[in-house]
Amino acid sequence: MTKQRYVIIFSLVALLFAPWQAARAAAGIFASGGGTKTAGQNFTVTVTASGTTFDSLQGTISVSGPVTVVSFNPGSATWMPGKSPANGKQFVGLTSATSSLVVARITLRGTSPGSGAVSVSGAKLAKSGAIVGEGSGGTSFTITRAPVP
């Protein structure tokens, strides 16, 4: 075969796999609920797995910044012993096949002005043992000074 044919065949194979890879990257575990908050105010960050059909998940959720963790409530997956979602700890869970699952609802209280984030790392979604998503994303927040009466 000529060099030109190899290039064409390689390009076609790459085009066939590109959409699958894009979908895999878009599927994952993401945090939402950031924004501007006031010191002394409670607010909730929700961490959700979505973007593809999966039956197991894992990752790590970390909270940083001028906040106190009021509560860290794991979602409805079956969590492996000692592996339910908690700040800075790896979680590993099983679920019946689904395309969306709340991993955790985290209630935070702003303690002083500054910025912070809830981040997700090491995210993996799998179905029947095959990895189907590895995307992850966090949410950032800014704590402002409470108004003076």
pTM above 0.75, yes or no: yes
Q: Tell me the pLDDT tens digit for each residue of 5-49.
A: 544 444 444 444 444 444 444 899 999 999 999 999 999 999 999
> Where do runs of H (alpha helix) occur along the chain?
3-26
- Tell me how far apart the alpha carbons of residues 76 and 73 are, in angstroms, rounded to a whole number: 10
- Tell me how far apart the alpha carbons of residues 117 and 63 are, in angstroms, rounded to a whole number: 6
Q: State phi, psi for 23 to the nearest 5 degrees.
A: -65, -40
Instruction: Say which range, 3-7, 85-89, 139-143, has the weakest mean pLDDT.
Output: 3-7
- Tell me how far apart the alpha carbons of residues 91 and 84 are, in angstroms, rounded to a whole number: 5
- Residue 65, both tokens: 């910044």
- Tell me how far apart the alpha carbons of residues 28 and 114 are, in angstroms, rounded to a whole number: 28
Contact 72, 102 (CB under 8 A): no
Contact 119, 60 (CB under 8 A): no
Average pLDDT, the chain: 88
Q: Tell me the pLDDT tens digit for each residue of 122-139.
A: 999 999 999 999 999 999
